Structure 1
Amino acid sequence: MLENPRSPRVRAVAKLAKKPARQESGLFLLEGPQAVAEALAFRPELLVELFATPTALERHPAVADAARDAGIDVEFVTEAVLESMADTVTPQGFVAVCRQFPTAVRDVFASGPRLIAILEEVRDPGNAGTIVRAADAAGADAVVFTGRAVDLYNPKVVRSTTGSIFHLPVAVDADLADVLGRAREAGLTVLAADVKGVDLLEVRQEGVLDGPTAWLFGNEAHGLADEQLELADRVVTVPIYGHAESMNLATAASVCLYESAFAHRSS
């Protein structure tokens, strides 16, 4: 059992909360029983190390069984060690070290996707992770991070995906113009979500959402620039029927992605 919170091994794991260590090592942190369970179920080959407190493993026997079935050893650690490793203040008994696994942009479009989400300079970790989760839930084929977006493997992004990071392809560090060009070559209609656009209901009634679609979402603070909006086939806004001043980016993205999902399944 690992008992020393200041040991070099524990410090090496804790450093993965910082981007330079992730870039240098090609690894990232995974925390909590649900995220670890998803990794074991969908991409067990990515797990490099798996740590848990004895109490946590007793509470989650399914995780222990999945690790054993995948041939992955669980190393016991004390609560103090786990707290030193984790990025969260109150970790839930599990920390894993995983290999990063970004998808190449060309591979995103090689399989003929019908629904993808493009995140242009989305900086907030919670928004980014929630959109990945929403895209997964809506049955999207991929997510692409373009421009100076938040690091996909930031611990807050990873936590916000709640395991969805292991369910669908995600490309990072892509160029927006290149991605949109590839999207059109693959037969997707590019819809930019922006307050300057036409009502989503109008677009739905026109049947625009029935075909393959690439949704483009911009930065939380300043949205999409005019020249970026011009790259889209249509600019669409999610209407606000109440008195809210605006809508959170991740919420608006979820609405857009699900509208496409509904249209695809009803048609």
Structure 2
Amino acid sequence: MRPLPETPALRPGAAPLTQRSPRVVAARRLQRRRERDETGRFLVEGPQAVREASAHIEELFATPKGVAAHPELTAGATLINDAGLGALAETVNPQGLVAVCRTFDVPLFEALAKRPRLVAVLAEVRDPGNAGTVLRTADAAGAGAVIFAGDAVDPYNGKAVRASAGSLFHVDVVREEDPFHVVKALRDNGFTVLAADGYGSVSLYDAPLSGPTAWLFGTEAHGLPPELADAADARVHVPLHGRAESLNLAAAAAVCLYASARVLSIEERSL
């Protein structure tokens, strides 16, 4: 880890920083998307996230209790008092550590050049909790990339980072303004592109899941834009056997991604 430019770490014996310290005030601005976009930095809080983010950390703030509880994570950390850490954290009971990290999303072509077998695309998804949860599920299912397409939530939003439970740091994160460009690029790279659509004509049980697959997921309330769903190779619905009207985004994404993961696992074992 290295400190932010022109913000040297505290000298031994110096008082911990407070919520009014210039470095803390500057870091707190990263709670706003505009500041994250302009600086290429974001906040990560808690020991698990800090551990996963180690390669991307520029500065780590830690309370004395945080240092005592996690000495393996806090070498070179900047001491901060509880009120200062509370100003940086967005949780009710922060765990003593908040890091300033560099953003690290990759271009679409670079992510696809790695030939992932499974990709999740979040098209216009604006809820950070849903986005982070889908990212976590995609990681668990073995996806190599998660693409935030169109007017989607910032993957470095604090709630999205927390909901990803560290998975933000395990997969290629791509941000692309044009979701139709994403679909074309995926198809040009040999992917079958499937739109998760509650009204789709193809059942998940019959969906073409063999080979490299990309799933398109839309918003919780409105799903995918019709034109984008039509651009996919198939519009796929998850069969509902009970009386539930539908599945929420995170649940539907988990079912779809794991259906693909099962088929890909079978294919890999047969090679």
Deviations 1:164-192 (A, max 9, x none): 11111010133111111111111110000
Matching residue of 2:211:
211
Deviation at 1:88, TM superposition (A): 2.1
Could you say which structure has the higher helix fraction? 1
Q: Which has the higher contact order (CA 8 A, sep 6+)?
A: 1
Looking at structure 2, the residues matched to 219 and 9 of structure 1 have their Cα atoms a distance apart, in angstroms, of 37
Give the letter aligned to residue 247 of structure 2. M
Higher alpha-carbon deviation: 55-64 or 17-26? 55-64
Unmatched 5+ stretches in structure 1: none
- Structure 2 contact 41–100 (Cα < 8 Å) conserved: yes
Matching residue of 1:221:
221
Identity among equivalent positions (%) equals 52
Report the TM-score when normalising by structure 1.
Answer: 0.90
Matching residue of 2:258:
258
Matching residue of 1:246:
246
The 3-state SS of whatever aligns with 2:199 is strand
Deviations 1:50-90 (A, max 9, x none): 011121232234424xxx4xxxx211211111101212232
Deviations 1:88-142 (A, max 9, x none): 2321111000011111011121122211001100010000001111111111010
Matching residue of 1:13:
27
Task: Give the 5 Å matches for 1:1-267.
Answer: 1-40=15-54, 44=55, 46-64=56-74, 68=75, 73-197=76-200, 198-203=202-207, 208-267=208-267
- Structure 1 contact 131–250 (Cα < 8 Å) conserved: yes
Deviation at 1:233, TM superposition (A): 0.4
Looking at structure 1, the residues matched to 102 and 86 of structure 2 have their Cα atoms a distance apart, in angstroms, of 21
Report the TM-score when normalising by structure 2.
Answer: 0.89
Unmatched 5+ stretches in structure 2: 1-14
Deviations 1:7-47 (A, max 9, x none): 2211111111011211221110101110001112xxx2x21
The 3-state SS of whatever aligns with 2:134 is helix
Deviation at 1:228, TM superposition (A): 1.3
Looking at structure 2, the residues matched to 178 and 145 of structure 1 have their Cα atoms a distance apart, in angstroms, of 12
- Structure 2 contact 198–246 (Cα < 8 Å) conserved: no
Size of the aligned set, in residue pairs, is: 252
Looking at structure 2, the residues matched to 82 and 222 of structure 1 have their Cα atoms a distance apart, in angstroms, of 38
Looking at structure 2, the residues matched to 263 and 200 of structure 1 have their Cα atoms a distance apart, in angstroms, of 12
Give the letter aligned to residue 257 of structure 1. L
RMSD: 1.3
The 3-state SS of whatever aligns with 1:63 is coil
Give the letter aligned to residue 223 of structure 2. G
Deviation at 1:146, TM superposition (A): 0.6
- Structure 1 contact 105–174 (Cα < 8 Å) conserved: no
